[in-house]
């Protein structure tokens, strides 16, 4: 999964090189590029017009309805540990300020943190004062009350008329809210799938020190954690699909998937929903700041019969967390 975009780029460069200097060898990279054909549209919206999935397109006349903006952002517990340990303590305050004032009607936050005895981190009242009077939280076993909370959160300027949740592990899980936007009701599902915890920095350091024994151990650990993650993500996907199927309203699924666009989970969701980055984004949309920083693991998936994605952006200028926030504007379709 992690190597697919790198391999595609390398084969493209090799193909161009051999095409000019040794045409007899160009076929090998050409075949590799053709084999990766199903993943081209997932990599960048540049080619989206050539890869429209007819099964995912609304094939009926729809009248435009209300519009709203939706943000998904893994806020790294608002960097509370860095603040308490006096490691760039101002970053936490900048992160809180940006998250609560960013221009979005609905905000889905992963690794949300709230602590009522730490005034700077008593964040729920701050969001409410900023205009997000309606909210709901996941209640994981490690933090069952709002006064000392970490987990998933949905903040909305629109009334929440229904909600539900399911914990996967610790603070990871799924949280959904039914929002009333004028005469329309929609369902927003915020998800945070379990992390693989790959520790690629440890592998990098072992290689730099030429410690090949440690490098082998690190590689074994990476593959073991990947296998563990694949198994759990498949189970978590079933819960997400059940929530989608049970919804009486058009659905948007967003959050931190800890999955690249070439994964099983991404492919399954893409079969039933559109991806907003593919339809209305630009560039490559890499959403993770840490190593490997060439991956897109934060997404919006939406029902094309209920919504039209008007634009989508990855705010790579906002560097307070280990993820970049992603924001999209949707139009509700009145069928």
The pTM (predicted TM-score) of the whole model is 0.86
The rounded distance, in Å, linking the Cα atoms of 215 and 208 is: 10
Task: Please report, in angstroms and rounded to a whole number, the separation of the first and last CA atoms in the chain.
Answer: 38
List the chain pLDDT tens, one digit each, 335 residues: 666 777 777 888 888 888 888 888 888 888 887 887 778 788 888 766 555 554 444 444 566 779 999 999 999 999 999 999 999 999 999 999 999 999 999 999 999 999 999 999 999 999 999 999 999 999 988 888 888 899 999 999 999 999 999 999 888 999 999 999 999 999 999 999 998 665 555 556 656 666 666 667 766 766 666 766 678 899 999 999 999 999 999 999 999 999 999 999 999 999 999 999 999 999 989 999 988 788 999 999 999 999 999 999 999 999 999 999 999 999 999 86
- Provide the angle, in degrees to the nearest 10, between the axes of the packed helices 26-35 and 4-21: 150
Query: Can you give the pLDDT at residue 144?
Result: 81
For residues 168 and 174, is the Cβ–Cβ distance under 8 A?
yes
Nearest to 84 by CA among 72, 93, 71: 93
Domain with CATH 3.60.10.10 in the chain: 54-199+222-334
pLDDT at 303: 98
Residues contacting 170, CB < 8 A, separation 6+: 140, 141, 142
Cis link prior to 328 (omega < 30° from 0)? no
Beta strands in the chain (DSSP E): 63-74, 106-115, 134-137, 148-156, 160-169, 172-181, 184-192, 251-256, 274-275, 298-302, 307-314, 326-334
pLDDT value, residue 218 = 63
pLDDT of residue 297: 95
Question: Which CATH fold topology does 54-199+222-334 show?
Answer: Deoxyribonuclease I; Chain A (3.60.10)
Q: What tokens were used for 141?
A: 């076993």
CA–CA separation, 142 and 255 (whole Å): 20
Q: Is 45 left (phi over 0), alpha (psi -120 to 50) or beta?
A: alpha
CA angle 73, 241, 142 (to 5 degrees): 55
Given this model, what pLDDT does residue 225 score?
66
């Amino acid at each position: 999964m992690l190597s697919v975009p790198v391999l595609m780029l390398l084969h493209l460069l090799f193909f161009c090189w051999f095409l000019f200097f040794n045409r007899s060898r160009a076929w090998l990279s050409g075949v590799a590029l053709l084999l990766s054909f199903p993943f081209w549209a997932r990599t960048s919206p540049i080619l989206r017009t050539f890869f429209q999935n007819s099964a995912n397109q609304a094939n009926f006349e729809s009248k435009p309805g209300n519009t709203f903006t939706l943000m998904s952002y893994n806020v790294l517990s608002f960097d509370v540990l860095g603040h308490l340990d006096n490691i760039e303590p101002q970053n936490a305050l900048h992160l809180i300020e940006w998250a609560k004032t960013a221009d979005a009607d609905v905000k889905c936050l992963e690794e949300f943190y709230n602590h009522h005895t730490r005034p700077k981190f008593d964040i729920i009242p701050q969001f409410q004062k900023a205009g997000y009077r309606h909210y709901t939280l996941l209640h994981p076993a490690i933090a069952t009350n709002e006064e000392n909370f970490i987990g998933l959160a949905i903040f909305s300027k629109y009334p929440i008329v229904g909600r539900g949740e399911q914990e996967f592990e610790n603070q990871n899980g799924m949280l959904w809210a039914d929002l009333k936007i004028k005469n329309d009701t929609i369902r927003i599902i915020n998800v945070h799938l379990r992390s693989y915890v790959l520790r690629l920095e440890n592998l990098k350091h072992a290689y730099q020190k030429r410690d090949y024994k440690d490098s082998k151990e690190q590689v074994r650990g990476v593959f073991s954690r990947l296998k563990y993650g694949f198994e759990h993500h498949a189970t978590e996907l079933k819960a997400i699909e059940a929530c989608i199927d049970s919804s009486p309203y058009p659905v948007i699924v967003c959050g931190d998937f800890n999955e690249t666009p070439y994964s099983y989970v991404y492919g399954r969701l893409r079969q039933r929903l559109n991806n907003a980055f593919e339809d209305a984004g630009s560039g490559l949309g890499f959403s993770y700041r840490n190593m490997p920083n060439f991956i897109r693991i934060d997404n919006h998936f939406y029902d094309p019969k209920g919504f039209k994605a008007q634009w989508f952006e990855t705010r790579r200028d906002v560097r307070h967390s280990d993820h970049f926030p992603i924001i999209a504007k949707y139009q509700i379709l009145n069928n």
